[in-house]
Amino acid sequence: MTDIQLSPLWLSFKTAFIATIIVFIVGVFLARIIGRNDFPGKSIVEAVILLPLVLPPTVVGFGLLFLFGKNGPIGQLLMNWFDVQIVFSWYAVIIAAVVVSFPLMYQSAAGAFQQYDANMENAAYTMGASKWKVFWTISFRLAWPGLLAGLVLSFARALGEFGATLMLAGYIPNVTDTIPLAIYFAVESGNMELASFWVIIIVALGFSAILWLNWWSKRNMMRYTAKRSK
């Protein structure tokens, strides 16, 4: 086992971390905007956001390849303006992770912002607080348990992304070889020992994430609903 290259672990973490930050900020923002406003086509927008959740990752990968490929609309734009090629690069790994984990964050955030009584925000407004103050001191704080759940789920999903990554980023050692890809190619080349190593790592990570999440949300649920101490 001494000759195992640890680069997939580092790469997976780095990718999942960055993807989660992007997904968290955009997800919270969108969930808030879409949740509080009614506009024509709202359900279609929400369906598009949630689509990667039900599509096979290969289909998501195909779509991304179409958009970011050499001749794709976004791919061409990035190439012409910034001389950046997305396909087969680390950026592709991040993009794939963002797209597949985004629906999980969005759903958690949308639910989290409906969990508490909207009158808390109204009360804060009547007390003269600005929208920004109300968001940070009331909405975000009260939605935090749900937002954190979405954060952990998105991170786990980004860490485990395989199909779309393979389609868009390919398997390039030290550049795009995340743990799931490393497992697949280890098995394909008959290196079961290496595959098992990564399988154990990723199962342990996923298991601890869910275990921690359950423990945390239970503890958090108790916090403001505990019986009166008097």
Partner 1 sequence: MLEVEIKKQLSHFELQATFTVKNEIVVLFGPSGAGKTTILHSIAGITKADQGIIRLHDSVLFHSEQKIAVPIQRRKIGYLFQDYALFPHMTVWKNIAYGMKNETLAKQVIKELTIDHLIAQYPHQISGGEKQRVALARALATEPDLLLLDEPFSALDDKTRLRSHEELLRLHTLWQIPIIMVTHSHEEALKLGNRVLYVEHGTLHTASVPS
Residues 94-153 that bind partner 1 (CB under 8 A): 117, 119-120, 122-130, 137-138, 141-142
Residues, the chain: 230
| Residue 142 or 169 with smaller CB distance to partner 1 | 142
Residues in the interface with partner 1 (CB under 8 A) total 22
- Told to check if 230 binds partner 1 by CB under 8 A, we report yes
User: Closest by alpha carbon to 8, among 210, 213, 161?
Assistant: 161
| Residue 39 or 224 with smaller CB distance to partner 1 | 224
Q: How far is the CB of 109 from partner 1 (least distance, A)?
A: 18
Using CA atoms, how far residue 84 sits from 11, 87, 90, 168, 171, in Å, is 20, 9, 11, 15, 19
Residues 206-225 that bind partner 1 (CB under 8 A): 224-225
Question: Residues 149-178 vs partner 1: string with x where CB under 8 A?
Answer: ------------------------------
Contact 61, 96 (CB under 8 A): yes
Alpha helices (runs of H) in 37-72, residue ranges in sequence order: 42-54, 57-68
